[in-house]
């Protein structure tokens, strides 16, 4: 995988992408009885979790495409799923206003967290797994004690629903993305916050992710007028770059490679997966895939596998890699099925 470093460039960055045609057939995971609304990879990239309008969460073996478990208990659509950093726990957020915690090995629902006044659209574990953050249509972000199940803090003041929450790698910052162009960095301990995104367009379902060193926050969204990815200095809240990404339909998934030297993005409606070098702002590769209209997306922790759910009960999975079949880099990037079919 191409790798990246902290970016300190301002303004719109030009791109010179390398086009790579993704092969078909790709892997299609079918089993939900309703539209898939959320997907997330386990920390080791071997498992995928998906939440659906059918009120269930499904776990999938990425290597084989097998549905390994179905978790039932929510009474409405599941809009958010996330694994703990050790991969042992899973959290889910639902239109039923609750968050559920699950034991990944047994599939048992270990706790149900209640307190939001509206749909829960985002969840994230702290790096040590002791806390969970949740964002809701009620315009609040809540912190929860995972062991005891209690609500330890509530942060309000968001004009629209909170669709994305992410802890920094050291757990000292919590990024929250809300509709209407509001992205805030919170101190989970004190609750102090600073609005770092106040741009001249609307965000619809923004996504926020930290770089592995915690120095940069990347943000993107659906249906923004620029189709851009923004990079921010996490210490100051200053915008450091804007990457022209996926057109007006925006971004469905955004993730850093483990070393922070590559940023990957997947478009909502353009059928493209793009890799970026933040050191230069260059779009290093663009992969064409044969779906449009992504309802949810996730990129694996190693940055090599993408899962996109269309407006259906199907999850499409691709693997993309650098270099030739011999493993020697040729400067071209190829997309390949995530598993044999």
Give tens-digit pLDDT for 41-84.
999 999 999 999 999 999 999 988 999 999 999 999 999 999 99
Q: pLDDT value at position 195?
A: 64
Query: Are 89 and 103 contacting, i.e. CB atoms less than 8 angstroms apart?
Result: yes
The sheet with strand 216-222 has its strands ordered as: 12-13, 239-244, 228-233, 216-222, 204-210
* Confidence bin at 20 (pLDDT 50/70/90): very low
Q: How far is CA 39 from CA 82, 117, 162, in A?
A: 8, 24, 17
Give tens-digit pLDDT for 223-247.
655 678 889 999 888 888 888 777 7
- Over pLDDT 90: what percentage of the chain? 45
Domain-wise residue ranges, the chain:
12-337
The larger pLDDT score, comparing residue 94 to residue 308, is at 94
Mean of pLDDT over the chain: 81
* Confidence bin at 23 (pLDDT 50/70/90): very low
The bridge status of strand 36-41 relative to strand 47-52 is antiparallel
| Fold exhibited by the domain 12-337 | Methylamine Dehydrogenase; Chain H (2.130.10)
């Amino acid at each position: 995988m191409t790798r990246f470093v902290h970016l300190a460039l301002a303004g719109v960055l030009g791109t010179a992408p390398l086009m790579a045609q993704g092969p078909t057939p790709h892997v299609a995971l079918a089993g939900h009885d309703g539209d898939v609304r959320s997907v997330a990879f386990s920390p080791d990239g071997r498992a995928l979790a998906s939440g659906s309008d059918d009120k269930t969460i499904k776990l999938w073996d990425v290597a084989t495409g097998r549905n390994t478990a179905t978790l039932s208990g929510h009474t409405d659509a599941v809009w958010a799923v996330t694994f703990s950093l050790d991969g042992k726990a899973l959290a889910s957020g639902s239109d039923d206003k609750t968050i559920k915690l699950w034991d990944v090995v047994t599939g048992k629902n270990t706790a149900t967290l209640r307190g939001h006044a509206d749909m829960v659209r985002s969840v994230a574990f702290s790096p040590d797994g002791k806390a969970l953050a949740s964002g809701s249509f009620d315009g609040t972000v809540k912190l929860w004690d995972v062991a005891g199940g209690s609500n330890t803090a509530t942060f309000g003041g968001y004009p629209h629903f909170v669709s994305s929450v992410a802890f920094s790698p050291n757990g000292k910052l919590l990024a929250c993305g809300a509709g209407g162009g509001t992205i805030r960095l919170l101190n989970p301990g004190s609750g102090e916050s600073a609005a770092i995104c106040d741009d001249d367009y609307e965000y619809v379902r923004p996504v926020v992710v930290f770089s592995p060193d915690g120095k940069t926050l990347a943000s993107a969204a659906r249906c923004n007028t620029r189709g851009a990815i923004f990079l921010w200095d996490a210490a100051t809240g200053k915008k450091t770059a804007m990457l022209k990404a996926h057109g007006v339909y925006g971004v469905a998934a955004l993730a850093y490679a483990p070393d922070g030297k590559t940023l990957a993005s997947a478009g909502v409606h353009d059928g493209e997966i793009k890799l970026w070098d933040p050191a230069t702002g260059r779009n290093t590769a663009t992969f064409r895939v044969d779906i449009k209209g992504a309802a949810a997306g996730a990129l694996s922790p190693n940055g090599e596998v993408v899962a996109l759910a269309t407006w259906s009960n199907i999850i499409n999975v691709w693997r993309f890699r650098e270099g030739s079949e011999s493993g020697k880099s040729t400067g071209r990037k190829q997309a390949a099925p995530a598993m044999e079919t």
